[in-house]
Amino acid sequence: MSRSNLDLVNECDGFPYYQVDPDLFAASISTYYELRVQNRDYALGYLLPSVAEVFRGIPHWHIDDDERILTLTEGTDAASRSAAVQTTFLALRTTGHFKVLDKWRDELYPVYGRQKELLFNVERSASPLLGVVTYGVHLTAYVVKDGEMKIWIPRRARTKQTYGGMLDNAVAGGIASGESAFECLVRECGEEASLPEDLVRSRVKTAGCVTYFYIRDERAGGETRLLQPECQYVYDLELTEDVIPKPGDEEVEEFCLWTVDEVKAAMAKGEFKPNCAIVMLDFFIRHGVLTAESEKDYIEIVARVHRRFEFPTL
């Protein structure tokens, strides 16, 4: 079945909105547990009840079933909290309880408070269990010749545990704790697309960010229905014809240079990784490919790719 652009947005930004359906939002919220840290009276993420239950009786954590809150009780600073979180997930990894921890990355993601202060770091593969906001970078690389735009589209390795064989943006990756978005982008450009550092630093254009509240499905690997609010910093890079992205690791099979219509057709077939489709829609909006005249759901799409979270962000 052909997907509309709004279908693509709904697939990636799947958590209900209070403004659209208060009853559905309230029903959804009532099934989850809030994640908090001690002495902070606000949520940092949402957990499934089945996930929260695993923390019952584990040191450094407290469950309030009446209020449906899981609180990290250990630590008064980022370092001590991070140590407690790391100890917990290393133990859970050893028990093999959560499948997502099988993809342990030894990469730390930051979790921020309302004053943009770092509250703690968490292992990347564990972040969906806590439902916290995570950050990444996505780059769209394209060529313009004789007035026609073509876009470099990579296909993810079919052997990848997550979204194997699906289409992606030219470069994408998660931002580690302590790493800036731009430096993350430069690193990922070299690792994933073999793009020279000097070229990226001199020609890439920052283009804002997209935000969405994803609900993981089986393609993400591991447990399903985990909540994953994400912020992706987006960048554009216009390349000359002689610069050809090449896979720099085993995560990408190939790069193809496609026309806009070819990209649109693949999106309609659902061939893109969900958040990569969102990034492409944002690119099309910014470059005038997707307009109010050509898209009946234009206003909703523009708003939905810039979701405001109920959790603190950087």
Residue 231 three-state SS: strand
How high is the pLDDT of residue 161? 77
Q: pLDDT tens, 73-101?
A: 999 999 999 999 999 999 999 999 899 99
How high is the pLDDT of residue 1? 84
Q: Which CATH architecture has domain 5-14+133-304?
A: Alpha-Beta Complex (3.90)
Helix axes 274-286, 260-268, angle to 10 degrees: 140
Report the helix count and the strand count for the chain, using DSSP H and E.
Answer: 10, 12
Task: Confirm whether pTM is higher than 0.75.
Answer: yes
Neighbours of 270 (CB within 10 A): 16
The third-level CATH classification (topology) of the domain covering 32-129 is Transcription Regulator spoIIAA (3.30.750)
| CA neighbor of 78 nearest in space, from 38, 106, 130 | 38
How high is the pLDDT of residue 273? 98
| CA neighbor of 173 nearest in space, from 77, 279, 84 | 279
Ranges under pLDDT 70 in the chain: none
How high is the pLDDT of residue 248? 86
| CA neighbor of 169 nearest in space, from 268, 249, 281 | 281
With a CB cutoff of 8 Å and minimum separation 6, the contacts of 180 are none
How high is the pLDDT of residue 210? 98
Residue showing tokens 């550092």: 197
- What is the number of alpha carbons within 13 Å of residue 314 lying toward its C-beta? 21
Give CA 119 to chain center in angstroms: 20
| Region of 82 on the Ramachandran plot (φ > 0 left; ψ -120 to 50 alpha; else beta) | alpha
- Report domain extents, the chain: 5-14+133-304, 32-129
